[in-house]
A and B are shown apart, each in its own frame.
Chain A
Amino acid sequence: MSSSGTIRTGAWALSVGVVLADSSIVTLALPEVLREYDTSVFGVSWVLTAYNVFLAALIIPAAGLARRRPERVWGGGLLLFAAASLACALSGSIATLIAARCAQAIGGAAVLAGAIELLARARGSHRAAAGIWAAAGTAGLVLGPAVGGVLTEAFSWQSIFILQVPLAALALAARRPERPAESGPQGQPDRRPEVALGLLSAGLTAALFLLVVLLTEGWGLSPLAAALVVSVMPVAAVAASRIPIGDLGLGSPAVAGAIAIAGGLAALGLIPGASADLTIAPQLLIGAGLALAIPALTVAALGARDPEGLRAAETLAARHGGIVVGILLLTPLLSVQISSQHDAGRDASSALLLDAPLSVQTKIETAAGVAGAIDDADGTLPDLRPAFAEVGASEDEQGALAALEAGIDDQLERAATHAFSWPFLGAALLAALALIPIRLLREGER
């Protein structure tokens, strides 16, 4: 391939990566958005959901347009995507932000459809091009939260969108392709890999969305620190993608990947402490599972022939449909769990306070301080140190007071962590369900 061809291929792949990264890139910014616009967890989740709904719904019609004029669809999509990104950065309310995200998804669907068609024409077939855009998309999806976290910490959540505006310059890399990628009848569509992709995407979204919310809101990590922690997943994915499995067919990597993803999510649901270190092993499993399952299922979903590029678009629609399903199923479960564990943490802290060997005066002062700290934390893990520092306890009581502070801290961390247990286990179930269509797929392979 010529150097100009390599640059164009890189530009198309980059555009796919950025558009798919937008499915998850704002995850670490959501707490900031939630506070700035004074909305609810469910409300702010629509910043993610709206984008994925529009992307899933529009990718197939966009693929039809891209078949005729791929360079125009891709270039026009990039311009719309960039303009909508600017609108996201300048939005003044949660409603305008969600509306701008919808516009971003419309542009994003055009970008994806155009890039897939352009890559297919450059490579000779959609199947040959699938490896490039699937890898770019997966990299974008898993790197998104880490990049978003760094930008949010270093600048602001708006900077995530501003950085995407220059993406429009990539449109210069477009050129009129000379011929369609391939011709002839469409291969027989097979929905099993699409269903599996949708279920795994639902679980993976949970892995990213729930994990970053746990790290930032549950355990009080900064967006930068959380970004560093969740970067384990893409690193594991890159490492696992180097495992030589090309001769193993599609079924075995898909099964192994789905098991690893489900296992990693289940382990996150059973995490035995409030420590970022404990997320590493599950993330390694999820990252490795991602690298094994997603490319194999994507290739299986495309089938042997995809002259219209329709199967590629349907594959992406299935993935984003899965993301939407994952968010819509697991966000309400998380909201309910946060509320119930908030009460459980408060009750456990009250029990420790009531039973502590302290004078009534010290207990009343401590209770007032702790209650104030919990209120100030506004649903996140409170910092109890200032509240305890202000308690005027006698020297005899200092030991008991320190033990009480450590005990209440522990109870609140337990409550915050346990709130995520059922959502993670629910996500593990979604990922495990993917084994059903994959098993049917393997039977067909034999």
Chain B
Amino acid sequence: MNRRSLLIYVAVGASLGVIFAYLLAGGASYKPLAVADPCEERSIDVLAERGIFEGIALSALDGAACELQVTREELIAALADEQALAEFAAERELDAARVEAAIRAGLIRAINDAEASGLLPGSLVTPAREIAERLPVGVAISLFRSLPGDPTLGDLITAIGEAGLAIDGLGQQALDALRDLGRDLEGLAPEDLQGLLPEGLDELLPEDLRNAIPEGLDGLLPQE
């Protein structure tokens, strides 16, 4: 080997040496974590470890993101505020009907996941599904944004009450009644609950919801 060739071989060897060393150290894969496909089912065990609100919210995000064919991370960034949501919809040429369908799909997925993981008692599944199928999109977004930091059963009932307001046929009176109910529930024994139901609530609620809520309360509250 003459010196001219040696110089070239040294350059090739040194270059390939550094490149292969970096490849072996993970250079080709040193990039941000690839986010999960929202259409794939998440482990029920993982969902069961979450609080009730968190589990529902995460499943709802997955369902809506899957419907829109985006990641749940992109979707949560879009739900940060009105402007982000408008930009998100404009970029993907989404109309209101598509967004509404996605959020509805998310809520239905959340209910299915919550039922499967045991987060939501069977007695509340029917009214929750009723809400999910008939809920106007604006209320759904407000629900996401108003998720409390440390959710309790009272918060859940309050949220269901707020959602219920939006269902056609219900008015402000029903919302107030359900809100009060949620607020007052904290620390009460199950036997006290029936007495707290506001007067006139029966007439305002659809029959299946009217029947399901007391049953759901019994199922949710800790039993003696």
Contacts A264-B15, A266-B15, A266-B19 given; indicate if A347 touches B31 (C-beta within 8 A): no
Provide the bound-state CA to CA distance between A260 and B71, in Å: 41
Contact assessment for B4 and A252 in the assembled complex, using a CB-CB cutoff below 8 Å: yes
In the assembled complex, how far is the CB of residue B22 from the closest CB belonging to chain A, in whole angstroms? 4
Instruction: Specify the chain A residue showing the minimal Cβ separation from B36.
Output: A351
Contact assessment for A260 and B15 in the assembled complex, using a CB-CB cutoff below 8 Å: yes
Would you give the 0/1 interface string for B71-109, flagging 1 where the beta carbon is closer than 8 Å to chain A? 111101100100000000000000000000000000000
Contacts A260-B11, A264-B15 given; indicate if A360 touches B53 (C-beta within 8 A): yes
| B138 interface hit (Cβ, 8 Å) | no
Q: Is the interface of A mostly helix, strand, loop or mixed?
A: helix
Contact assessment for A347 and B74 in the assembled complex, using a CB-CB cutoff below 8 Å: yes
Provide the bound-state CA to CA distance between A245 and B7, in Å: 9
Provide the bound-state CA to CA distance between A263 and B14, in Å: 8
Contact of B71 among A245, A249, A347, A361 (CB under 8 A): A347
Contact assessment for A359 and B19 in the assembled complex, using a CB-CB cutoff below 8 Å: no
In the assembled complex, how far is the CB of residue B74 from the closest CB belonging to chain A, in whole angstroms? 6
Instruction: Specify the chain A residue showing the minimal Cβ separation from B23.
Output: A270
Contact of B32 among A252, A267, A348, A362 (CB under 8 A): A348
Contacts A351-B73, A364-B149 given; indicate if A249 touches B11 (C-beta within 8 A): no
Chain B residues with CB under 8 A of A278 = 22
Contact assessment for B8 and A271 in the assembled complex, using a CB-CB cutoff below 8 Å: no
A339-363 residues at the B interface, CB under 8 angstroms: 341, 343-348, 350-352, 354, 357, 359-362
Chain B residues with CB under 8 A of A272 = 22, 25-27, 30
Contacts A259-B11, A417-B30 given; indicate if A248 touches B4 (C-beta within 8 A): yes
| A415 interface hit (Cβ, 8 Å) | yes
Chain B residues with CB under 8 A of A289 = 11
| B170 interface hit (Cβ, 8 Å) | no
In the assembled complex, how far is the CB of residue A342 from the closest CB belonging to chain B, in whole angstroms? 10
| A285 interface hit (Cβ, 8 Å) | yes
Chain B residues with CB under 8 A of A414 = 30-33
In the assembled complex, how far is the CB of residue B50 from the closest CB belonging to chain A, in whole angstroms? 9
Contact assessment for B15 and A285 in the assembled complex, using a CB-CB cutoff below 8 Å: yes
Instruction: Specify the chain A residue showing the minimal Cβ separation from B51.
Output: A360
Would you give the 0/1 interface string for B37-69, flagging 1 where the beta carbon is closer than 8 Å to chain A? 000000000000101011001100100000000
| B147 interface hit (Cβ, 8 Å) | yes
| A331 interface hit (Cβ, 8 Å) | no
Instruction: Specify the chain B residue showing the minimal Cβ separation from A269.
Output: B27
| B188 interface hit (Cβ, 8 Å) | no
| B18 interface hit (Cβ, 8 Å) | yes
Instruction: Specify the chain B residue showing the minimal Cβ separation from A249.
Output: B4
Chain B residues with CB under 8 A of A351 = 33, 35-36, 72-73
Chain A residues with CB under 8 A of B49 = 357
Chain B residues with CB under 8 A of A352 = 33
Chain B residues with CB under 8 A of A252 = 4-5, 7-8
Chain A residues with CB under 8 A of B19 = 263, 266-267, 270
| A241 interface hit (Cβ, 8 Å) | no
Contact assessment for A359 and B15 in the assembled complex, using a CB-CB cutoff below 8 Å: no
| B1 interface hit (Cβ, 8 Å) | no
| A127 interface hit (Cβ, 8 Å) | no
Contact assessment for A361 and B149 in the assembled complex, using a CB-CB cutoff below 8 Å: yes
Contact assessment for B32 and A256 in the assembled complex, using a CB-CB cutoff below 8 Å: no
Contact of B7 among A256, A346, A364 (CB under 8 A): A256
| A371 interface hit (Cβ, 8 Å) | yes
Contact assessment for A270 and B22 in the assembled complex, using a CB-CB cutoff below 8 Å: yes
Would you give the 0/1 interface string for B1-17, flagging 1 where the beta carbon is closer than 8 Å to chain A? 00111011011101110
B113-159 residues at the A interface, CB under 8 angstroms: 147-151
| A255 interface hit (Cβ, 8 Å) | yes
Instruction: Specify the chain A residue showing the minimal Cβ separation from B15.
Output: A263
Contact assessment for A344 and B32 in the assembled complex, using a CB-CB cutoff below 8 Å: yes
Chain A residues with CB under 8 A of B147 = 360, 364
Chain B residues with CB under 8 A of A267 = 15, 18-19, 22, 27
| A273 interface hit (Cβ, 8 Å) | yes
Instruction: Specify the chain A residue showing the minimal Cβ separation from B5.
Output: A252
Instruction: Specify the chain A residue showing the minimal Cβ separation from B57.
Output: A360
Contacts A248-B3, A263-B18 given; indicate if A411 touches B32 (C-beta within 8 A): yes
Provide the bound-state CA to CA distance between A270 and B53, in Å: 42
Contacts A348-B35, A360-B147, A360-B149 given; indicate if A418 touches B15 (C-beta within 8 A): no
Contact of A253 among B7, B58, B150 (CB under 8 A): B7
| A257 interface hit (Cβ, 8 Å) | yes
Would you give the 0/1 interface string for A217-260, flagging 1 where the beta carbon is closer than 8 Å to chain B? 00000000000000000000000000001011101110111011
Contact assessment for A359 and B150 in the assembled complex, using a CB-CB cutoff below 8 Å: yes
| A94 interface hit (Cβ, 8 Å) | no
Chain B residues with CB under 8 A of A285 = 14-15, 18
7 tightest A-B CB contacts, nearest first: A263-B15, A361-B149, A270-B27, A272-B25, A256-B11, A347-B73, A348-B32
7 A-B pairs within 8 Å (CB atoms) are namely: A248-B3, A257-B11, A267-B27, A288-B11, A347-B71, A361-B148, A414-B30
Q: Knowing that A263-B15, A270-B22, A289-B11 are A-B contacts, what are 9 other residue pairs whose CB atoms are under 8 Å apart, sorted by A's residue number?
A: A251-B4, A256-B10, A263-B14, A292-B11, A347-B74, A347-B77, A360-B147, A361-B148, A414-B33
